[in-house]
Each structure stands twice: as C-alpha cells, then as structure tokens.
Chains A and B, each alone.
Chain A
Amino acid sequence: MMFCRELKKIIWGIPYLLFVVVLTLALFSQGVLEFDTEGSVSKPEPGGNYGTKNEEIPELIMPAALQSLYAEFQQNEYRTYPIGFIKTVKLNDKEQAEIAEIISRITGIDTEKLYGENENSYTAGEFSIQIDGDGSLQPDGNGGFTISMDDAAAINSMQEEPLDLTVRANLSYSEFRELMQRADDLLGGGSDYAADALIGFGTVPVTYEEALERYELMKTRDHVTGGYARLFSDYAVAMALSILPVFLAVIMDMKDRSCKMAELIYTRKASGIKIIFTRYFALLTAVMLPIILLSYLSNAGIWGMYQGMDLDYFAPLKYDLGWIMPSAMIAIALGMCLTELTNTPLAIAVQGLWWFVDINMGIKSVASSYSLFRLAPRHNAGTNTYFRTQDFIDNFPRLITNRLLFAGLSILLVIVTIVIFEANRKGQINGNHKLKKALANFRNRKDQSPA
C-alpha cells in the first residue's frame, strides 16, 4: 500500500520521465538495441582467422616491451593511460637517465651508448637531409620539403650500425617485470610497462581448437542469450546504472523537503525503518523496471538468429538482477543517505566523482574486470570473441564477491539513512550536516565576539 503510493509518486513526474529518456538514450548510443546488426555467431571453420589473445609468454613479452620502451625513450614521449584516456608524458633529464639505466640493465648495453644513438638519430632526422633519389623527399607546396620519420630513420640506419637491442640471456622474467614496473612508476603509472599490463605485449593468435572450445562454451554455458545479456549489462552498468539512479534518489528526497512533506512525514506514526525502506525499494523498483524492459528489448532482437538452439530466455533477468542491480542499489542508497544527512545535492558530486574515476579505471581492462571495489564491472566481449565465456567463468567468484559487497554496503547505507532520519525526526541533527554545523558555530563565534 505505502509501497504502491511511493512508487506512483516517483513514476508520475518529470524527473522519472527524464531518467527513462536519458537512460534509453545512453544505452541506445552504445548500440545495445542493435546487437543483431553484428550478425550471428557461427561455428568456427578450420583455417579461419579467430582473432588474437594475450598470454603471459616471457619470450614474447620481453623483447616487445623492450622495443617499445626504447622507442619511447628515444622520443622522450611516453604514452600512459592513468585513468582511461591517453596522457603523453615527457621526462626530465634525471628521470630519462633512470629509464636509460633500466634499459641498460635489461640489455647490458652501456647507457651512454643508448644516448648516443638517440642523439644521432635526432640529428639525422632534424638537420642532415640526404636525398637518395627515390622520392622520399616531397615538396610540400609551400616551397619547403617534408621528410617522413620512416625515411629519416632509414637514412639514419644507413649511417650507423643499429644497436643490438636484445634482452640479456641471464635476466629472469621476474627481474624483467620488476625493472619494467620501475619504469612505470617513473612514468606516474598507467603505462603498458606496469607489471599487470605487460601481458598486453604477449599477443598470440587464437587457434581453431580454442575458437571451437569458446564457441561450444557459448552454446552450453551461456545458452547464447547469456553472452548478449552480459554485454548489455556491461554497457548498462557503466554508462547509466552506476550514476543515473543517484539523481532520482536525490530529487525524490529533496522534493519531499521543498514540498514541506518532510515535516509532515516526521510527525507521522510510521516507523523510520518502514518509511525509508519503502522509499528505497520503491526507487529501486522504479529504476529497475525500464532496465529490465530494455534488456529484453535488446536480447529479444537476437533470438530469431539462433533458432533451433537451446536459448536461456531468463538470461537478461538474471543479469539485470545479479549484475546491474547492486550498482543501482549503491547509487540510490548513497543518494538517500547523503541527502538525508546534508539536505544538499552533495550525493551527486560524490557519486559522480566515484563513477567518473571508476569508469576511467575500468576502460583499461574492460574484460572480466571485477576487482573487489569496481563500481561498474566490465566484460566488454562481443560476438567476435565468442563472449569470452571462459574468462567469465574463471572470474565468476570475484564478480559474485564484488556484487554481494555492493548489495551489502547499500543495505548498510540505508540503515545509516534510517538512523539519520530518526535523529532528524527527534530534532537532533535538524537537517544539518555536522560539518555545516561546525562552520555555522564558527561563524557565530565570530559574529558574537565583537558584541
């Protein structure tokens, strides 16, 4: 009864309409309603190209990482991704010297030699123009000439013996990792050389047998629809459900106050536990309804492509409740709690910042990225990788721990909200943040002192 009234209050209003529109737009822009356009996944045929995968093969990783580091060292331009988007780092002389030292320890080549090469190639590219007549020097239309870097490098390589840049034979992989991690630290983190990112250099092709195995897993474990539902959840939780619900929660809470409902509610008999939990579950229901609808709209679009297969029609619902809902839960709980505490939209700033940082950290590892405190778990694997079911299965316990943690944290926050609500009701806090109160006291003291 109270629940229905609360739900109705939320749903019949501009804020909710706006929520649904923004939610739909956000998901639509990620293409979740057009999964069918990618075509269906078919059984791999022998002799095809099945994409690549990364594996921790030291023999592969060490030379590739070394080459990359040396190239960036020469340019003094290092690409890093501290929180998702690229940041080009320039190092000062001292730091450059340390990188040189690292390369030297990996290769056994003297640091001065590393520099020498660097300076020579710099000179070659910049100043000495040698025309070898094969047209690599092009007039640029402004009366000048353009030399492409490749040509300059080619010119350079003709001048000097290239350095033999190989990993020392007696260097162990763990030592290598340590050295590379030091380089990453020098770069401020987020580079490809971080110990947990080195695997990116170990790119190997997926074999036919592996592809076949992936395909079978997709059929037997995911029942096809599970893979699509997972992809939907990946986008939904990252782009919408770990941020948008906080707006709805804050709006509903603040609306109560501006309509003077708060005081009415305070004097009512219903217990704080009942009022807050009812509102919480009403908000959660309101948030989950369109998501369930959208997840089925997204999923049903591909059912026709897999006729005759054993599909799991409950997959979207399972993922909605298990994967997406805990993120929505925490956003709503935080929104309610901070609004009850401060009576300001502070929750938006807090959740917004959290979401922003989390999403950008998540971009670095969008597949089976379920670390304990990841607000928006990612598993951005589509049809071209057969949804990477094995990765998902391997990391499933981590995902469950993460999601349970968030659900539990949410309930805890709701309980805190109830405590604050009851305190407000008795006039203990009087809708004022402790900090604000402290500030006010401070101000009052200042005002009173001259009086």
Chain B
Amino acid sequence: MEPSIQIQHLNKFYGKKQALCDVNLTIGLGMFGLLGRNGAGKTTLMKTLATLLQKKSGTVTICGIPVENEKEIRRIIGYLPQEFSMYPTMNVIEAMDYLAILSGLSKRERKERTDLLLEKVNLTEHRYQKVKALSGGMKRRLGIAQALLNDPKVLIVDEPTAGLDPEERIRFRNLLSDAAEERIVILSTHIVGDIEATCENIAILDNGKVLYQGTVDDLLAAACGKVFTKVTDRAELPKLKNELFITGMHTQGKSVHVRFIADNAAPGADACEPNIEDAYMLYLKQNGTKLSAFAAEEIGGALS
C-alpha cells in the first residue's frame, strides 16, 4: 500500500485559542509543503502528526494507523524540530547513537544506520565534534540524519531552512528531495523558495485554517493576469505603498521596479508571469487575511 496521511476535521485548542480549525488534508508520497505565516498553525499541525500534541477532535491516520496509537506511529515517522538540540556534552556520533537507541534499533542496525546516514549528510569527518559547536547548516543536516535513523515512512520537518545561508539551503533542499523519493516528506516553511524548488503539492495554512490545498501549478494558474510590474521614482514609493498591494521591489539607481497584485492593471503597469510568492500573497489577500503593506514587505523580504 502506498503511504498516505489522512486528516479529517482536525481541531486543536491552546486554552481558548483555536490553533487548528477543521483541518482536512490528504497527503501522498513525495514532498508536501505547508505554507503559512508565523503562528498560522504549521508547527501545531506537524507536532500533532508527530504525536507530540494531543488533538481536540477529528481523525488523523498515518499509513492507516490512527495517530492515537503513539508507539506504532513513532515507529514509522521521523521528526526534525525547528532547531536541532541535544544534551550539551554530546558529540555527533554519541547523539546519533543515543537517538538510534531511542528509535528502538538493535546494536548492529545502530552502527550501520549511523555510519550510512552521517556519510550521506557529509558529517562523517565531524563525528567527534560537540553538537552545540556545529554550524547552523551542519546541525540541520545532523537533524535530517537522525530523523532518518528508523528509515521512516513519513518525515516531518519543521521550518528546515530558516536561518541558513543560500548555499546550505540548496544543499538541504536536495537532501530532502532525495529522502522524498521513497517516503512522504512534509515540510513547513514561510519561505516560498523552499516550496518552489521542491514541492509539487502544497497547502496554505492561515489562522489554523487550510486556505488552499492542491498543486503548485494550480496555485500559479489562479494568479495569472493579476500580477503587474511598474517602474517608478523612488520618491513616489511611500505613496504607492499605500495604494498598491506590493509583493516585491528592487531598486535601480533612482528608480524602483515594483511588483504588485491587483485585479486590473494600473496606469503605466505591465502584466507579468506570477511566481509562487505572488500567488501565495494573492491567496491570503483574497481570503480576507489582513496584510498591511508593511507585512507584505516583510514577507516579501523573507521570500526573496
């Protein structure tokens, strides 16, 4: 049976605040991207899948196993939290070995898997280095290696590329793509570039609700004809920011190339091909999410 995750009518509350609101999702083999702003509920959803949080209501099954069956679920999932952190005195190989023990591997399996995975993520030569002394990128790679220890059917990765430099980010995306060939990989991100590079299927989460689920192509198609560019003087920028829904800009000398979303072209603007970033912003806008020009700029910044 091909692995799949079924989520139906999932609700989760933190006190009175609803963190997940009637979430319905079907996730199949390959890479699946969860897109949303900070606080949209991505981490909550992923932690629920990783059996770290208890849901309020709804059903979640992973490869046919209900998520309440923690022990069985934990056998088939691998989870990488936003930041990889281990006991401060542990070095790389010790951390891998300990986590392998906790994954229920036998002594022989432990050695095999640890060696194989460290090789795969290029950490073999750093294996006696303290985990906390590793660079951000190396930590993230170690994180992936440990999540794959039990050869999981489902790999859950929370915000994998935040804070990485471009080179490390590309390296990391490739690692994930490799892993996704034979399993489900769910990654959450607020960095649209990650999705663009790796995922075919995505869901957009906002305020605990699923705004969109489908392919990247469909999302892009929906934004066709609604994205424009305009060249303007820098002095006019503040005024434009108030009038238009800007998703990106770049400065050239005194003039600025502004990219914005609108239903109709403004005077002096040219229609252009939408990218995921535009489509995502459009989706949030259409669904009544309050996005100030400032917020748009902020996300735009993260996106670029």
Q: Which residues of A contact B (CB under 8 A)?
A: 343, 430-432, 436, 440, 443-444, 447-448
Contacts and interface: CB of A to CB of B under 8 A. Distances in A.
6 contacts: A343-B88, A430-B133, A436-B89, A440-B130, A444-B91, A447-B128
Contacts of A430: 132-133
A440 B131 CA distance: 13
A349 to B, nearest CB: 18
A447 B97 CA distance: 12
B154 interface: no
A431 B88 CA distance: 10
Contacts of A448: 128
B128 A440 contact: no
Nearest to B93: A447
A432 B89 CA distance: 9
Contacts of B130: 440
Nearest to A443: B89
Given A447-B128, A448-B128, A440 B133 contact: no
Interface string B105-128: 000000000000000000000001
A277 B94 CA distance: 39
Contacts of A447: 91, 93-94, 128
A193 to B, nearest CB: 51
Contacts of B88: 343, 431-432
A444 B94 CA distance: 10
Contacts of B128: 444, 447-448
Contacts of B133: 430
Nearest to A440: B89
Nearest to A436: B89
Interface residues of B, number: 9
Contacts of B91: 444, 447
Contacts of A440: 89, 130
Nearest to B94: A447
Given A430-B132, A444-B128, A447-B91, 13 more contacts: A343-B88, A430-B133, A431-B88, A432-B88, A436-B89, A440-B89, A440-B130, A443-B89, A444-B91, A447-B93, A447-B94, A447-B128, A448-B128
B126 to A, nearest CB: 13
Contacts, number: 16
Interface in B70-102: 88-89, 91, 93-94
A430 B134 CA distance: 12
A431 B91 CA distance: 15
A28 B132 CA distance: 46
A448 B128 CA distance: 8
Interface SS of chain B? mixed
Contacts of B132: 430
A447 B127 CA distance: 11
A436 B89 CA distance: 8
Contacts of A443: 89
B269 to A, nearest CB: 41
A51 to B, nearest CB: 59
A323 to B, nearest CB: 40
B138 to A, nearest CB: 15
A448 B93 CA distance: 11
B128 to A, nearest CB: 6
A234 B132 CA distance: 46
Nearest to B133: A430
A444 B130 CA distance: 10
Contacts of A436: 89
Interface in B155-214: none
A341 to B, nearest CB: 14
Nearest to B130: A440
A430 B89 CA distance: 12
Interface in B202-248: none
A338 to B, nearest CB: 16
Nearest to A427: B133
Return the 7 tightest CB-CB contacts between A and B, nearest first: A444-B128, A440-B89, A448-B128, A430-B133, A444-B91, A447-B128, A436-B89
Nearest to A260: B83
Contacts of A343: 88
A447 to B, nearest CB: 7
Nearest to A439: B89
A440 B128 CA distance: 11
Contacts of B93: 447
A440 B90 CA distance: 9
A36 B206 CA distance: 64
A443 B88 CA distance: 14
A320 to B, nearest CB: 40
A180 to B, nearest CB: 53
A435 to B, nearest CB: 12
A430 B88 CA distance: 11
A389 B154 CA distance: 78
A447 B129 CA distance: 12
A435 B290 CA distance: 54
B267 to A, nearest CB: 46
A430 B130 CA distance: 11
A443 B94 CA distance: 11
Contacts of A444: 91, 128
Nearest to B128: A444
Contacts of B94: 447
Contacts of B89: 436, 440, 443
A47 to B, nearest CB: 73
A425 to B, nearest CB: 15
Contacts of A431: 88
A371 B194 CA distance: 68
A447 B94 CA distance: 9
Nearest to A430: B133
A239 B250 CA distance: 65
A181 to B, nearest CB: 50
Nearest to B83: A260
A432 B133 CA distance: 11
A153 to B, nearest CB: 65
A440 B91 CA distance: 9
A440 B130 CA distance: 9
A199 B94 CA distance: 63
Contacts of A432: 88
A436 B93 CA distance: 19
A431 B132 CA distance: 10
Nearest to A344: B88
Nearest to A445: B128
B50 to A, nearest CB: 22
A259 B130 CA distance: 21
A444 B133 CA distance: 15
